[in-house]
Amino acid sequence: MLDVTTENYTGADCTESSGASNRTLILANTGTTYQSGFLVYVSGLALTLTTEYTVVHNSSSSVITFLNGMWDDLSIIINYYQQRSTVAGYDTKRDDIQDIITSNGYAATMIRQTRTTDGLGGVTAVTDAEYAIWVLIQDITRKDREISDMGLAVPGNSKAYFYHEYLDVMTENGDIKIEVGDIIKYQDSKYWRVEQILAQRSADNAEIFRVGIIKKIDLDEDAA
How does 50-76 read in b/e, with b if 16+ C-beta sit within 10 Å?
A: eeebebeeeeeebebbbeeebbeebeb
pLDDT per residue as tens, the chain (224 positions): 567 889 999 999 999 999 999 999 999 988 888 888 899 999 999 999 999 999 999 888 899 999 999 999 999 999 998 876 544 456 677 878 888 999 899 899 999 988 888 878 787 888 899 999 999 999 888 777 778 778 888 888 999 999 999 988 889 898 999 999 999 998 777 899 999 998 777 666 678 889 999 999 975 544 43
Q: Is the pTM of this model over 0.95?
A: no
Q: What is the CATH number of domain 90-223?
A: 2.40.10.270
DSSP state string for 146-179: HHHHTT---TTEEEEEEES-B-HHHHSS--B---
So what's the pLDDT on residue 86? 47
Q: Where are the domains of the chain?
A: 2-83, 90-223
List the beta bridge partners of residue 108.
133
